[in-house]
Structure 1
Amino acid sequence: AEDTPLVARLFAEAVHEAGIPAGVFNLVTGLGPVAGQALAEHPGVDLVSFTGSTAVGRQIAAIAAGQVKKVALELGGKSANVILPTADLAKAVNVGVANVMSNSGQTCSAWTRMLVHRDQYDEAVGLAATAAAKYGERIGPVVNAKQQVRVRGYIEKGVAEGARLVAGGPEAPREKGYFVSPTVFADVTPDMTIAQEEIFGPVLSILRYEDEEDALRIANGTVYGLAGAVWAGDEAEAVAFARRMETGQVDINGGRFNPLAPFGGYKQSGVGRELGVHGLAEYLQTKSLQF
């Protein structure tokens, strides 16, 4: 991302110190519409791998299509954290809130929709509000002023559309810095903007479901499909539900991220996979030699 170039510079230094031959890895910094577009259009580039927003991913895919060039796109998400009635509710809610607040909410795979059974809903909302309050002094700023305005705008839209604020809000928690209050919404319905669009900030929406089929319908009811989570008292129950979710990765009962496993999305969350063997395969071509 053009707002965070120093991470890439550090990686380039590590590549150099590791002794990788010059030219195997090259770093070009610049703005997306300038440097990014030049790389995507260049005839010497055989594949464009992009991580970022779905909107920019569409532009890159269009450029690549003009040259019949392969793309690997890891784009936006609106991941569902489904808490089934048999789950450890307190653990599922607390881990779910932590997941959303990590990196100040700027994580494409964050579980920004928490789905809770109607009989446990009020308890879950209380737990989430308490958990979010603990992040008030700990959470860092978002990346820039534009993103702060964007996230606060979504919070205001949530209030305007009838969601109930139980933690945080649109007001900046500090006078200086691009800070956004850790925010939790209750009484969110699947059609609300905050339940459909990626906010990319520390904002959690809690939705109520009637039964398992209703939960599945809500979980699958966005244009995204990057990640998600399922919690249940029985692992097999959680796995059965996870297999029906239209998403590229699902954590079972708080399962830890595995960098050897393929990572990528369904639907408008992307094309192709990163990490593991599948991630390497994106960069390979298949050739047949026949005698």
Structure 2
Amino acid sequence: MSRIVYVNGAFEPEEEAKVSVFDRGFLFGDAVYEVTAVLGGRLVDFDAHLARLDRSLGEIEIPRPMPDEGLREVHETLIAENQVDEGIVYLQISRGSAERDFAYPPSPLPTVVAFTQTRPLVNTPQAETGVDIITIPDIRWKRRDIKSTSMLAQAMGKQEAKARGAYEAWMVENGAVTEGTSSSAFIVDKDGVLRTQPLGPQILPGVTRRAILRLAEEDGVSLEERPFSVAEAYEAREAFMTAASAFVLPIVTIDGRAIGTGEPGPIARAFRAHYIAEARAASA
């Protein structure tokens, strides 16, 4: 059965879906997106994704194409039509179609596209074994807090990680780790303090990142939103990454160096279990 996707008000088979060659998302990357996890056929942390979407749209002045209720209905219809029990829903909103010109067109009509991907999120080998990552220079633009589709630098970084046999790449700027190509970066430093980059234009405000900060407070884990260097990451007791499509994944090596014991650490495991339990309870 063909996958059903959403394009500008219509649910249709993927092979029939079309977007104009003049769409500014295609021509300029003039678009924003969100990826929401699906667990048990239900959306995970959807309100937080909607709030971040609103912020991204506002930052680049794309008008809101529909209210929250409409976006939720699009997501839930796609989940039902494609019988997704576990996976993700991808949503993209561009400024729309216009004659090619760098300046924003007046009165744009946004293009809205959404589709599902079925994939395992809970029982994954990476969660059991942990993952290997590398570090690379951060060559991105300076407004990384906007969840833009302009992601060539991240794609290049992910490809480099793949070529070097790693799962993910952490990007480094001015000696400090900013974030992963598609994830937020955490370490438990040698003093047992959980650390991650503070929010700002240098990183994306991750939805799963936000949940982990809340869980850390609830679980009494010492936390500092403070930059850390690659050298500090090498010496950390634990390292892990968070993302909507991966939840929490332990990191066992960075640039070929074992982190801690070289096995998934107890804090990362606890956060993953706690987050999944909350997501399951919310979707029940």
TM beyond 0.5 = no
TM-score, normalised relative to structure 2: 0.26
Report the structure number with the largest CA radius of gyration.
1
More strand by share: 2
> More helix per residue: 1 or 2?
1
